[in-house]
Amino acid sequence: MAKWTPRHEAPEPLEGPVVATITGGTILWFVMFLVQVPFYGWFADRDLTWWVWTCLAGGGLGLIGIWYVRRRDAAIKRDRAAREAEAAGPREAGQA
């Protein structure tokens, strides 16, 4: 079997409103958990309680995701500002 090799360069990753997307998803996980809690007995009777706990786990992991993407976004902005300051040179930096 021949080894597969890519024929073209990989595209750049898409950037978008990552923090808003992760926050929205986290809210949805918590809402789904809260909607299912009143029906916990129904889920327990059918041995489907993992549905409820999956939603709670999704919300908890989403909180970690929010923390992560906010720090990532801040790091990207710091790096961009540092590169722009470096490109501007010491002459303009001293005037500011």
Cβ atoms of 19 and 66 within 8 Å: the answer is yes
Taking residues 58-80, report their average pLDDT: 96
- pLDDT tens-digit map of 4-63: 877 888 888 888 899 999 999 999 999 999 999 999 999 999 999 999 999 999 999 999
CA dihedral 11, 12, 13, 14 (to 10 degrees): -100
Task: Give the up-direction half-sphere exposure of residue 3: CA atoms within 13 A in the CB hemisphere.
Answer: 1
Tally Cβ neighbours within 10 Å of residue 85.
Answer: 13
Tokens for 57, please give them: 């786990």
| Predicted pLDDT at 88 | 85
> Which is more confidently placed, 45 or 94?
45
Q: pTM of this prediction? A: 0.74
Please list the helix, strand and coil fractions of the chain in percent, rounded to the nearest 5, in that order.
80, 0, 20
The mean per-residue pLDDT over the stretch 74-94 comes to 83
